[in-house]
Amino acid sequence: MGPGPSSVDPRVLEALAHPTLGHLDPAFLSLLDDLCSRLRRVYGTQNSLTLPMSGTGSLGMETCLVNLIEPGDRVLVGVNGVFGTRMCEVARRAGAEVSSVEAPWGNPLDLEDLRRALRQGPFKALCVVHAETSTGVLQDLAPLRSLADEGEALLVVDCVTSLGGLPVDLDARGIDASYSGTQKCLSCPPGLSPVSFSERAMSVVRRRRTPVQSWYTDLTLIGQYWGSERVYHHTAPINMLFALHAALCLVLEETLPVRFERHRRHALALAAGLEAMGLVLPVPKAARLPPLTLVSVPDGVDEAAVRRVLLSRHQLEIGGGLGRFAGVAWRIGLMGAGSTRDNVTLCLEALSEALREQGFHPEHDGALRAQAVLDAEESSRA
């Protein structure tokens, strides 16, 4: 229940341990085709260039930025946490002239701020984080396409902690390039980064004046292995791809609407339980991210000691804060296979116990409150 990696279903681990096949074995290649088609459904896209990069989420970020950016390009990045900050750094290293729109950590970006900045365009790209893993903040994607158009910008979105846990709908939202990770709401081990590029974004890549600075992430080359040509580029991470395929099967077997509703419901119950205990959730209600909840550490409580107790006594991992929230907040994940009623209860009970030992006495029983919320949710659906 940290900010990822999330719990992995035993069926995904079983697929991971399938005997390794060759990266040009026909049986493996047909699995890849099926994987991409499932990935498109989860991403909500028809984009032909939709595939998992052979590295973790940060390689996906780098892939999106280095394929689109040429030296001197102007790029606008929304920054309200670690991952927006990282996009600036990666874009700068790709030679971009980077501007940013900042929002306080724990809050979403302000649309008027974005609009004002975009009017200073044109920009090659507007880069936004959908689900800020460092703060548990959700950015509404709906207004971004028309905003990006005001700056004549491609729209690049980080979906690392949203893909598979809430709608990303690339095509409906007019997103040109997106990347994600396998170890969050897809509940697959870390190691791959699904990316998707619109036809418009790919035509920008094809029309570059300079080569992509990274050979390993050059999508014009990688697309030739994943496409019908099957031209060898690098050896695919076979077993991780077995696992991702199995994870995508489970996502689609559950169906996206049911999965998204599960993430929403358990996050709502967790938040209600935490607040019943008297804990403060710094993120405004409307911007809370279902897969990841930010909780302030009460005064006088040793946050690392609490995490150590949860881990050693309950085999329960929760995350510390990052950046401006380091030492003053926890991040509790309810992602993929980990988003369950039992986990909500376990976490609230274990946290109550650990907090009491640190001298913080919860106002109400958080686990009971969470269960009441879930019961109400379930009876309203019945």
- What residues numbered 148-207 form the site for a copy of itself, per CB under 8 A? 181, 183, 189-191
Report the residue from 31, 35, 94, 159 that binds a copy of itself according to the rule CB under 8 A. Answer: 94
Residue 311 sits in the site that holds a copy of itself (CB under 8 A)? yes
Residue 220 sits in the site that holds a copy of itself (CB under 8 A)? no
Strand ranges of the sheet holding 292-296, from the earlier edge strand across to the other edge: 292-296, 329-333, 319-320
Residue 30 sits in the site that holds a copy of itself (CB under 8 A)? no
Q: What is the DSSP string of 230-255?
A: ----S---HHHHHHHHHHHHHHHHH-
Of 142-150, 196-204, 212-220, 296-304, the segment contacting a copy of itself by CB under 8 A is: 212-220
- The contact pattern for a copy of itself, residues 322-361, with x = CB under 8 A and - = no contact, is x---------------------------------------
Give helix then strand counts, H and E, for the chain: 14, 12
Residue 216 sits in the site that holds a copy of itself (CB under 8 A)? yes
Q: What is the size of the binding site for a copy of itself (CB under 8 A)? A: 54
Contact predicate 105/191, CB 8 Å = no
Report the residue from 38, 40, 74, 86 that binds a copy of itself according to the rule CB under 8 A. Answer: 86
The alpha-helical segments, DSSP class H, found in 129-218 are 144-150, 170-173, 199-206
Contact predicate 327/320, CB 8 Å = yes
Report the residue from 57, 291, 298, 362 that binds a copy of itself according to the rule CB under 8 A. Answer: 57
Q: Report the nearest approach of a copy of itself to the CB of residue 203 (Å).
A: 21
d(CA 124, CA 73): 6
Residue 75 sits in the site that holds a copy of itself (CB under 8 A)? no
Residue 4 sits in the site that holds a copy of itself (CB under 8 A)? yes
Other CB atoms within 10 A of residue 347 CB: 26
Report the residue from 239, 314, 365, 377 that binds a copy of itself according to the rule CB under 8 A. Answer: 239
Report the residue from 37, 113, 143, 215 that binds a copy of itself according to the rule CB under 8 A. Answer: 215
Would strands 329-333 and 319-320 be described as parallel, antiparallel, or unpaired?
A: antiparallel
**Residue with the two structure tokens 């995508």:** 248
DSSP classification of residue 262: H
d(CA 161, CA 3): 8
Residue 211 sits in the site that holds a copy of itself (CB under 8 A)? yes
247 vs 367, beta carbon nearer a copy of itself: 247
d(CA 235, CA 232): 8
- The contact pattern for a copy of itself, residues 256-295, with x = CB under 8 A and - = no contact, is ----------------------------------------
d(CA 142, CA 294): 23
Report the residue from 13, 172, 304, 376 that binds a copy of itself according to the rule CB under 8 A. Answer: 13
Residue 301 sits in the site that holds a copy of itself (CB under 8 A)? no
Residue from 270, 263, 294 nearest 166 by CA: 263
Report the residue from 47, 54, 162, 196 that binds a copy of itself according to the rule CB under 8 A. Answer: 54
Residue 247 sits in the site that holds a copy of itself (CB under 8 A)? no
CA 88 to chain centre: 18
Long-range contacts of 220-226 (CB under 8 A, 24+ apart): 222/51, 222/53, 223/49, 223/51, 226/32, 226/36, 226/49, 226/51
Residue 237 sits in the site that holds a copy of itself (CB under 8 A)? yes
Residue 306 sits in the site that holds a copy of itself (CB under 8 A)? no
Residues that bind a copy of itself (CB under 8 A): 2, 4-5, 7-8, 13-14, 16-23, 25, 54-59, 62, 66, 86, 89-90, 92-94, 181, 183, 189-191, 211-216, 232-240, 243, 311, 317, 322
